[in-house]
Every structure is written in structure tokens, then in C-alpha cells.
Amino acid sequence: MITVPKEDFNLIKEKIKEAPTFVFSVLDCIIKGTVRADSTNYESLLINTDSGLYYVTGQSSDELFLKNIVRVNEASVNQGKRFTLFSSEPTWNQAIEKCLEKKIRKIQRYGFSFDLMAYKNRKRSDISEFDVTNINQYLIDHCLEFDKKYYDEYWDSTDNFLQNGIGFCVKDGERVISEGVSIFKSKNYAEVDIITDSNYRGKGLANIVAEQFIDHCLSRNIQPRWDCDVDNVASINLGSKLGFINMKEYSVYIKI
């Protein structure tokens, strides 16, 4: 494997038509990460965040490249670090499952396309009775779930999130009861992560923060993204109501 220099990241973006949002976050240098390739031709690619999320794409038949992925997995185990590998191509799935065998477990997830007209034509939530606001440092310190540890893991720091991320919350008095934030964001995409206090579920709060998130994205010419596990029926149903359609299944491999 070779490490791709940052000055070639735009070349990599041109080669990749579709990928998880964190991949573009790395390529846009919004979060820290590394891009590795089989050669200077960049036929096989392994792109990762410093937090341990990996994505493979390109030519999957390079045995040496696959052996290097095994070494990366072994290093993460030895160092007690995260290893979560994303793959959206069947040939890569077969190669990963063969070379890593019993070292990983597989999770199936859906990625959705965003239908702007479906979103615009839907009935909007009534937010008049709720206190909806942008997430700031004070609200991170008094959050529901997305705390400093969350932003340190996915954004390198809370400062980076506050400078480059997107976040909204609903409050009941001073209490945060629902949050919707960009778990990842690039120049062109933003993937939303939502949590609602279990005592306030069923009131449409997730819908409210999602709308705020989507509206913000659209005002800045950013495409909102929605991903979830294939068995997360509530998320699938909410996403479909917000204009997220055409579910495409992909695989995520987590070290055992």
C-alpha cells in the first residue's frame, strides 16, 4: 500500500462516484484521515478516518492489497482501536469475508437517495409550541447524547464540529429532548444522526430536527443524507416521510 498525498485527494474524488459521507469528509480535509492505494494508478483504495472507520473501493482482486487490509485489522486489534469497514460492492464483500473470516461480524445497512420534490410537497411539522435552536457549546455540555466524546470521535473535536458541522435540538425549558446533528459532513454532503429522549417519543420531535437539518443543508446547496441499519424500521419510516427513497443496501464489517 502507498499513502495518497493530500494534493491528489481531488483525483480520488473524481474516481469515486458514490461512497459513505465520511469518505468525502476525509477527501475534503474536514476530518482527519488517510487514503491508501495499491499503486500510483489508484486502482484499489482504502480510505479511513482517524477514529477507525474504513471504506474500500476499486479493484478487489489485488491479493497484496487484501493482505494489507488484514494487517490493518490486526493492528487495530493489537492496539485496542476501532475497526469498522464499509463496503458497497459484492466483489469486495466476498473478498473481505474470505480474508478476514472469523475476525469480523457483518451488519447490513441502507443508504437512501434524497427526493427534493417529495420533501417540498410533504406536510411540514408545526414547531410553534417547541423551542428549536442551533446546537452550541453550552448545549453540547448539556446534551441528550451527542456529547464531547461523540464529537471527539467523529469530528476530531467539538471545535471542528462547531466550525464545520450542522446541529439542531428541541428543548423543553432548559432540557434538551431531541437532537439532530451531522455525524459527518463534506463540502457536498451531510449525514444526519438523530436521538430523542425516550420520554418524549411519539411527538414528532425527530421529524422537527430532521426538517431543520435538511432545510439548512438545502440553503447551502448541500445534499442531506440518511443511512440506517436494515432492521431500523422507525428510521426507515421517518426517512421515507422526509423524501429519502431508493434504499440501497451496503455492508459494514466490525471487528470481533
CATH number assigned to the domain comprising residue 121: 3.40.630.30
Contact 170, 132 (CB under 8 A): yes
Is 90 exceeded by the pLDDT of residue 175?
Answer: yes
- CA distances 180 to 50, 165, 167, 192, Å, are 23, 11, 6, 6
CA-based max dimension of the chain: 59
Average pLDDT over residues 157-186: 96
Question: Quick check: 165 and 134 in contact, CB under 8 A?
Answer: no
Indicate the pTM of the whole model. 0.94
- For residue 190, the model assigns a pLDDT of 98
Clarify whether residues 122 and 156 are in a common domain. Answer: yes
Q: Are residues 50 and 149 in the same domain?
A: no
Q: What total number of domains does the chain contain?
A: 2
pLDDT over 90 at 69, yes or no: yes
Give the residue-averaged pLDDT of 214-220: 98
Looking at the structure, do residues 170 and 213 belong to the same domain, yes or no?
yes
The pLDDT value recorded for residue 179 is 97
Residues 13 and 55: beta-carbon distance below 8 Å: no
pLDDT of residue 89: 92
Q: What is the pLDDT of residue 95?
A: 93
Cell match 457549546: residue?
137
Q: Which of 80, 112, 144 is the last residue of a domain?
A: 112
Query: What φ, ψ does residue 245 adopt, rounded to 5°?
Result: -130, 180
Are 237 and 135 contained in the same domain?
yes
**Residues 141, 147: Cα–Cα separation, whole Å:** 7
Do 141 and 94 lie in one domain? The reply is: no
Q: Is residue 51 over pLDDT 90?
A: yes
DSSP 8: G
Q: Same structural domain for residues 159 and 99?
A: no
Give CA angle at 112 (255, 20), nearest 5°: 45
76 and 141 inside one domain: no
The pLDDT mean for the chain works out to 95
Q: What is the DSSP letter of 230?
A: T
Asked whether residue 252 is assigned to any structural domain, the reply reads: no
Residues 118 and 141 in one domain: yes
pLDDT digits (tens, 9 = 90+) for 106-136: 999 999 999 999 999 999 888 878 899 999 9
Q: Quick check: is 253 in a domain?
A: no
42: containing domain = 2-112
pLDDT digits (tens, 9 = 90+) for 88-110: 999 999 999 999 988 999 999 99
Quote the CA–CA distance of 17 and 188 in Å, as a whole number: 13
The per-residue pLDDT for 17 is 83
Query: What is the spatial distance between Cα 2 and Cα 42, in angstroms, rounded to a whole number?
Result: 9
Query: What confidence score (pLDDT) does residue 66 get?
Result: 92
Q: What percent of the chain has pLDDT over 90?
A: 90
Average pLDDT over residues 179-199: 97
Residues 136 and 219 in one domain: yes
Picking from 92, 112, 132, the residue at the C-terminal end of a domain is 112
Is residue 234 domain-shared with residue 184, that is, in the same domain?
Answer: yes
- The β-bridge relationship of strands 84-87 and 53-58 is parallel
pLDDT, tens digit, for every residue of 246-256?
999 999 999 98
What φ, ψ does residue 50 adopt, rounded to 5°? -65, -20
Question: Which residue in this structure is represented by grid cell 437517495?
Answer: 113
Q: Do both 169 and 123 map to the same domain?
A: yes
Cα distance between residue 53 and residue 170, in whole Å? 29
pLDDT > 90? residue 236: yes
| CATH at 31 | 3.40.630
Mark which of 78, 112, 146 sits at the end of a domain.
Answer: 112
